[in-house]
Amino acid sequence: MKITIEDVAKLAQVSAGTVSNALTGKRPVAEATRQRIMDTIKVLGYEPDLLAQGLVNRYSRIISIVITELLELGFYGYSSALTGIQRKANELGYSIMLNFVNGKTDEEIITSVNQIRARRVDGIIWAVHEIKGNRDWVKKIQSQSYPPIIFLHMHPDPKLNVVSIDNYSGAKMAVSHLIDQGCKRIGIITGPLDWWESQARLSAWKDTLEINNLVPDPSLIIEGDWLAQSGQIGMKALLERDKTIDGVFACNDSMALGVLNTACELGLSIPKDILVVGYDDAPEAAYYWPPLTSVHQFLNQSGQTALEELHDIIETGKKGITYPIQRIIQPELVIRKSSMRIN
């Protein structure tokens, strides 16, 4: 049997409305009765039903985090951002719901979003990685005014609420650093090229080489899949294609690990023969051998920011129109031995 507000009211000899007022503080309640009510609440162990509250209040204090596919939680990026979101959610009194869109067609995605909407969530953090063609349904989602959505780690768009990390700038740091260390032939192992993150990092590689009068030879580009194995395979492919390679930019740390692994296997010395830079700066990167230079993304912070901004929109949205927010976080290069030239 669930203990309701009526139970409390009866025992405290007041009406249900008064109990509600005592609890929310929205209307004054005489101190004596308030005390009496609080006491009986404690005695009965009463806890307001959030479902019922949500029904009448028209909010749920739930934020939905939408991600895609199964493996992604295992990716450092996702769990790290999620941790940031969670921290802020706790602070602001939201519960977070994890939702998964499976399927790529517009229809399937719309259905998923509708189901989330059916939960009356207060807001959505859309952390589905952006791939080619996604823009279509993004527009469809956004066309509905409820609920507010923040797009996390997506390509900035002045019409959408976006919290993101500057991938171009991060990759530029990585490549510039390799050039500074004297590298002339720098290969890149990218993530899947239908992710915009991958594209941004690849563009930065190209541009940075060109600015420095080096040739962004297409044969130096290997498409990986974020997993260590693809770093391993990619490294072997690079070495086969060009023996003069003296630097490798792996677009995440797992793939960089595959690169280091291959170097060991082939008896190459890093950083003596080849310099390596990764991306993500996962906690383990500092303990690879040699310790890996990597681009730190502040994913935790981006998650926090996303929730903060969403909260803002939810709150102010009750009063007036809000304009799309844009927060682009700058990454930082963390230099370790894997990229320190030995003379």
Contacts with DNA, residue ranges (CB under 7 A) = 2, 4-6, 13-21, 23-24, 26-30, 32-34, 46-49, 52-53, 55-57
Selected binder of a second copy within 3, 264, 266, 340 (CB under 8 A)? 264
Nearer to a second copy, 49 or 217 (CB): 49
Residue 4 binding result from a second copy, DNA, none, given CB thresholds of 5 to 8 Å by partner type: DNA
Rounded Cα distance between 157 and 154, Å, is: 9
Residue nearer to DNA on the CB measure, 37 or 220:
37
Task: Give which of a second copy, DNA, none residue 18 binds (C-beta under 5 to 8 Å, depending on kind).
Answer: DNA
- The smaller minimum CB distance to DNA, of residues 46 and 226, is found at 46
Minimum Å gap between C-beta 205 and DNA is 51
Q: Which does 21 bind (CB under 5 to 8 A by kind): a second copy, DNA, none?
A: DNA
Long-range (24+ apart) CB contacts under 8 A made by 279-287 are: 279/170, 279/171, 279/174, 279/201, 279/249, 279/250, 279/251, 279/252, 279/253, 280/76, 280/77, 280/252, 280/253, 281/253, 281/334, 282/76, 282/253, 282/254, 284/253, 285/253, 285/256, 285/334, 285/336, 286/336
And the tokens for 199?
């594209």
In contact, 278 and 285? CB cutoff 8 Å: yes
Those residues whose C-beta lies under 8 Å from the C-beta of residue 67, and which sit 6 or more positions away, are 73, 78, 98, 99, 100, 101, 127, 128
Tokens at residue 25, please?
A: 């503080």
Residue where the block lists tokens 């280091």:
260
How many degrees, rounded to 5, is the angle at CA 261 between CA 258 and CA 266? 125
Least distance in Å: CB of 118 to DNA? 8
Site map (CB under 8 A) of a second copy, residues 80-119, x = contact? x-xx--xx--x----xxxxxx-x-----------xx-xxx
Site track 230-259 with a second copy (rule: CB under 8 A), x = hit: -xx---------------------x--xx-
- Applying CB under 8 A, the residues found at the interface with a second copy are 45, 47-52, 54-55, 60, 62, 70-71, 73-74, 76, 78-80, 82-83, 86-87, 90, 95-100, 102, 114-115, 117-120, 227-229, 231-232, 254, 257-258, 260-261, 264, 283-284, 286-291
